[in-house]
Amino acid sequence: MTGRLRMALAMLVGLSVGWGASACERDGGGDATQGAKASAASTADDGFGEFDGDAVDDTVPADDARPAHTEKTTRRETVDERAKRHAAEAADTPDEEDDENDPNDSCAPKTPGLKPMQVLRFTFTDGVEGKDPKGKLYVARPGQRVYAHFAMRNRSGRKRCLHITFRVAGKKRTAVTVPIGKSWEWRTYAYNTLRSDDRGPLELTVVDDQGVPPLKKLLGVVPKKKR
């Protein structure tokens, strides 16, 4: 009886030991699988982060590292700025210069399509100072010298001329040719001295070198009243 109990106890102990080892192997195998999965996940995370951070350079450069981009804009010149520019060009352009050559040498030959000159200002005056008229005459007196002052614009690209004729009471008195230089504003003048017995109106006729009459003016000649 005692021997059989010992054998039975030995068999029970053996079975218990085998079952524990099997359970341990099963548990160990599960842990290994989970560990492998965790390791794989860790590797995948590490690899994605490495790829995202190192393999692809999608960083945004700092402001001072960005290439400069300048947008080209065109601002239109204002009326005041244009007037100032034209005045500066006129100041830099010599006018009323002494030309030893014949004024007719400045006249352009008949040229179709040649840009016409413009009369900017015209004044009958009794004198010229500093290239400008001293004042404005509304009537002239017999024996008085009368100036015809012009401010011309010549943008034709070459020198030009004006043919100026004075007539008194329909009779020709003075004819003169004046050169007109290339300028935004070229100032020049011509004059006629009235006779003491002149009573008719003073007539001014202007024709350019292309035969175009840009100007025709009349000025009354009125004798002084006797006291």
pLDDT at 88: 58
pLDDT at 2: 57
Chain position carrying tokens 């053996």:
14
Give me the CATH code for the 103-221 domain, please.
2.60.40.1930
Nearest residue to 189 via CA among 140, 144, 151, 137: 151
pLDDT at 51: 31
**CA distances from residue 22 to 26, 29, 201, 206 in whole angstroms, order as listed:** 6, 10, 141, 129
DSSP assignments along 60-115, one per residue: PPPGGGSPP------PPPPHHHHHHHHHHHHHHS--S----S-GGGGPPP--TTPP
pLDDT at 26: 46
pLDDT in single tens digits along all 227 residues of the chain: 556 666 666 665 554 544 444 444 444 444 444 443 433 333 333 333 333 333 334 444 444 444 444 444 566 777 567 655 655 555 455 554 444 567 888 999 999 999 999 999 999 999 999 899 999 999 999 999 999 999 999 999 999 999 999 999 999 999 999 999 999 999 999 999 999 999 889 999 999 999 999 999 999 999 987 76
pLDDT at 60: 43
0.75 exceeded by the pTM?
Answer: no
pLDDT digits (tens, 9 = 90+) for 74-86: 667 775 676 556 5
Give the angle subtended at the CA of 209 by the CAs of 98 and 121, to the nearest 5°.
Answer: 70
The residues spanned by each domain of the chain are: 103-221
Strand order in the sheet with 160-168: 139-140, 215-221, 202-208, 160-168, 171-180
